[in-house]
Amino acid sequence: MTTPKLIGLCGISGSGKTHILEELQKEMPVGKVSVLSFDNYYKPAIEQVADENGFLNFDLPEGVDDLKFISDLRSLIAGETLILKQYNFNTLGAPDKILTAKPADIIFVEGIFIFHFEEIRNLLNKKIYLEVPDPVTLERRLKRDNLERGLTEEEIHYQWQNHVLPGHIKYVQPYIPTADLILHNSADIMDCVIALKEFCEKM
């Protein structure tokens, strides 16, 4: 079996990482691309850090089980199929959604903190960063977190100012200069998908 190429896709929450990779998989030959999302490795809510006002902060690296993620990633690289549960952030009582990550020629590792962890960085063949203006990502979060997670506009703005932006500045921005490619995702998402497809075809 040929060793797969690993591409890391990083970006602030709401930058469009998941959506872009979903569209990319539709554009690529079946079995060519697989995705392993860091979002599905968040620790249970009871283990998350609460801020001074008692709100859980999901924008800290320690909120993610990086050791389990790395173990699963190595298994995927070795040719094993992974069966995962999709992480539910604020949807208590929601039925578990089962996900499958299959071996592929190219494995995308996506998440906010994937460049922060040295062991993950060292496994990546290429690193891509999604650049999106803050007002655009905030608008996306307002829609997504209200619809999918049941948060109020006030709660979303609170998280943005107190968790998302500080976490991004501290744990993500220092690694942006190390990216092999920076994609701008503020307009037509398919522009990014096409650019990623061309990037993959050159590997």
Query: With b meaning 16 or more CB within 10 Å and e meaning fewer, what string describes 16-39?
Result: bbeebbebbbeebeeeebbbbbbb
What is the rounded distance in angstroms from the CA atom of residue 203 to the CA atom of residue 200? Answer: 5
- Please give the residue range of the domain that contains residue 96: 5-201
Domains in the chain, number:
1
- Max CA distance (Å), the chain: 51
- Any residues with CB less than 8 A from the CB of 85 and at least 6 apart, and which? 40, 96, 97, 98, 99
pLDDT in tens, the chain (203 residues): 689 999 999 999 889 999 999 999 999 999 899 999 999 999 988 999 999 999 999 999 999 999 999 999 999 999 999 999 887 765 555 567 899 999 999 999 999 999 999 999 999 999 999 999 999 889 988 888 877 777 889 998 999 999 999 999 999 999 999 999 999 987 788 999 999 999 999 98
What CATH number does residue 85 fall under?
Answer: 3.40.50.300
For the entire predicted model, the pTM comes to 0.91
